[in-house]
């Protein structure tokens, strides 16, 4: 492997890549650090063909490749074993085809979500995903990243209808297509969505869009005790209300957001037609029956509160996935293990994310203990963000399930020499 080769050989690979994409698009010693590794080269191809050619060249030299967009997910998952080349798709940021009448768009993987939505909103359309930060389409799809809109609008899997991919053997492939109903048999898109760049490099994404709703409204619900908040959330989920987002925040998270609730608080968001939102807000008042709580409309929440809830920009971020019925219990379990945490519980989908401002070694044992308790409840815990020594010792993904043999077979088929983000995924895939 290239780690053991001379700098001269690294320079020869740089020359090879410069011939493919131009010297101005290859940066030697770029100053990027991924975990404990410092890549030798940053390469910026402009097309899917160039990306595939770069991968084939790296494969010949045995160089580990990390695909990147805005460089914000370089240290996700487990620490990678090698990273000689960062393949940036930032130049692949153009819209290839847009059909407003069909509510579909085809764009390069390097375009950001904000850039995409600024284009389609001119036609009163949007891609209703709100993951942390302003990521590129390629990163959002590869990491299957979503945010507080997930309850009503889903994840990238619900919007991707086609992908173009570059492979380590220099070939390109397509999965899905340019129309919504075109898949017969197994949907190969699902193989790559959430694979964290370990099977192929996504170079182009075809998406279905939605019309922009007329109105969005957020209501803050505070109560003197947690059981009242739980009861209110249960009534919302069991009733005729259709919230786009339903979150319970612990006291630390509420304080961070400037919410004066004296403890846990609940945020409810409705996104529909103007008439439907007004009706939902009226119906929401019914949850007060028998509960001592306060309802307050929050102005500007879409631009203020919700992005901050999605970001959870802390030193360590953990995500627990459980059944919806156990979400509130999981929030309490998280606080038991990490009293100092900033917690946001998505009551509609069964997710609890916590942020911790610490990088002490003792966190490793506490994470393992929390994971054990979450797993005993039938859930899972992953480490979304943490220093590399924590992700290495605690394992970002946890114990693999029985499907791991199939996953290893797929990795062997698509990346036999394990050059794409090696070691990042479950069980070191």
What CATH number corresponds to the domain at position 348?
3.30.70.120
Percent of the chain topping pLDDT 70: 95
Is the same domain home to 330 and 296? no
Looking at residue 239, what is its pLDDT?
87
Number of domains in the chain: 4
Is the same domain home to 238 and 160? no
Residue 373 vs residue 262, higher pLDDT: 373
Is the same domain home to 106 and 205? yes
- Terminal alpha carbon distance of the chain: 17
Which range marks the domain in which residue 301 is found? 215-307
Query: Does residue 184 register a pLDDT over 50?
Result: no
Over residues 30-55, mean pLDDT = 96
Residue at a domain's end among 90, 113, 141: 90
Residue at a domain's end among 256, 287, 307: 307
Looking at residue 249, what is its pLDDT?
95
Count CB neighbours of 201 within 10 A: 29
Which pTM does this prediction carry? 0.93
**Token pair 């989920």 in the structure block, residue:** 237
* pLDDT, mean over the chain: 93
Is the same domain home to 114 and 197? yes
Confidence grade of residue 183 (pLDDT, cut at 50, 70, 90): very low
Q: Residue 228 belongs to a domain with what CATH number?
A: 3.30.70.3450
Looking at residue 182, what is its pLDDT?
47
Query: Does residue 48 register a pLDDT over 90?
Result: yes
Q: Which region holds residue 17: left if phi is over 0, alpha if psi is between -120 and 50, else beta?
A: alpha
- Angstrom distance (rounded) from CA 259 to CA 254: 5
pLDDT tens track for 414-429:
999 999 999 999 999 9
Question: Considering the domain boundaries, does residue 420 fall inside one?
Answer: no
Question: Considering the domain boundaries, does residue 34 fall inside one?
Answer: yes
Is the same domain home to 61 and 41? yes
- Angstrom distance (rounded) from CA 425 to CA 213: 37
Over residues 213-242, mean pLDDT = 93
Over residues 190-207, mean pLDDT = 96
Question: Considering the domain boundaries, does residue 190 fall inside one?
Answer: yes
Is the same domain home to 253 and 266? yes
Looking at residue 21, what is its pLDDT?
98
Is the same domain home to 171 and 187? yes
Q: Indicate the DSSP class of residue 130.
A: -
Angle made by CA atoms 338, 154, 255, in degrees to the nearest 5: 35
Q: How many CA atoms lie within 13 A of 284 on its CB side?
A: 25
Among 134, 141, 159, 156, which residue's Cα sits nearest to residue 200? 141
Residue at a domain's end among 307, 329, 346: 307
Looking at residue 421, what is its pLDDT?
97
Looking at residue 134, what is its pLDDT?
85
Percent of the chain topping pLDDT 90: 85
Residue 74 vs residue 246, higher pLDDT: 246
Query: Does residue 105 register a pLDDT over 70?
Result: yes
Question: Considering the domain boundaries, does residue 429 fall inside one?
Answer: no
Over residues 341-366, mean pLDDT = 96
Looking at residue 289, what is its pLDDT?
87
Question: Considering the domain boundaries, does residue 418 fall inside one?
Answer: no
Looking at residue 185, what is its pLDDT?
43
Looking at residue 262, what is its pLDDT?
63
Over residues 35-47, mean pLDDT = 96
Is the same domain home to 198 and 102? yes
List C-alpha distances in Å: 265 to 13, 254, 257, 371: 55, 7, 11, 25
């Amino acid at each position: 492997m290239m780690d053991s080769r001379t700098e001269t050989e690294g320079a020869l690979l740089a020359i090879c890549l410069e011939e493919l994409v131009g010297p101005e698009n290859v940066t030697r010693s770029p100053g990027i650090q991924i975990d404990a590794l410092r890549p030798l080269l940053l390469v910026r191809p402009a097309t899917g063909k160039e990306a595939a050619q770069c991968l084939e060249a790296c494969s010949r030299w045995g160089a580990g490749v990390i695909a990147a967009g805005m460089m914000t997910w370089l240290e996700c998952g487990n620490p990678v074993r090698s990273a000689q080349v960062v393949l940036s798709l930032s130049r692949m940021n153009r819209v290839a085809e847009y059909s407003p009448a069909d509510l579909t768009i085809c764009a390069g993987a390097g375009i950001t979500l904000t850039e995409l939505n600024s284009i389609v909103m001119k036609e009163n359309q949007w891609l209703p995903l709100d993951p942390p930060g302003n990521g590129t389409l390629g990163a959002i799809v590869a990491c299957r990243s979503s945010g507080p809109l997930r309850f009503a609008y889903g994840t990238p899997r619900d919007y991707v209808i086609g992908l173009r991919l570059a492979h380590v053997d220099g070939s390109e492939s397509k999965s899905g297509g340019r129309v919504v109903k075109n898949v017969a048999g197994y949907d190969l898109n699902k193989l790559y969505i959430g694979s964290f760049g370990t099977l192929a490099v996504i170079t182009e994404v075809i998406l279905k869009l939605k019309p922009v709703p007329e109105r969005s409204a957020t209501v803050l619900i505070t109560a003197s005790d947690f059981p009242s908040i739980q009861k209110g959330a249960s009534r919302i989920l069991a009733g005729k209300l259709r919230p786009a987002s339903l979150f319970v925040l612990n006291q630390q998270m509420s304080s961070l957001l400037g919410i004066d609730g004296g403890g846990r608080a609940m945020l409810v968001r409705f996104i529909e037609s103007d008439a439907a939102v007004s009706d939902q807000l009226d119906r929401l008042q019914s949850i007060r029956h028998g509960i001592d709580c306060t309802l307050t409309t929050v102005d500007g929440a879409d631009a203020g509160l919700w992005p901050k809830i999605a970001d959870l920009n802390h030193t360590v971020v953990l995500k627990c996935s459980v059944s919806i019925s156990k979400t509130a219990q999981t929030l309490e379990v998280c606080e038991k293990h990490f009293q100092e945490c900033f917690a946001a519980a998505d009551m509609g989908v069964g997710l609890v994310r916590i942020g911790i401002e610490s990088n002490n070694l003792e966190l490793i044992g506490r994470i393992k203990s929390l994971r054990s308790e979450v797993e005993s409840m039938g859930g899972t815990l992953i480490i979304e963000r943490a220093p590399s020594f924590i992700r290495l010792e605690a394992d970002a993904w946890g114990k693999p399930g029985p499907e791991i043999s199939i996953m290893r077979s797929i990795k062997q088929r698509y990346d036999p020499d394990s050059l794409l983000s090696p070691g990042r995924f479950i069980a070191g895939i």
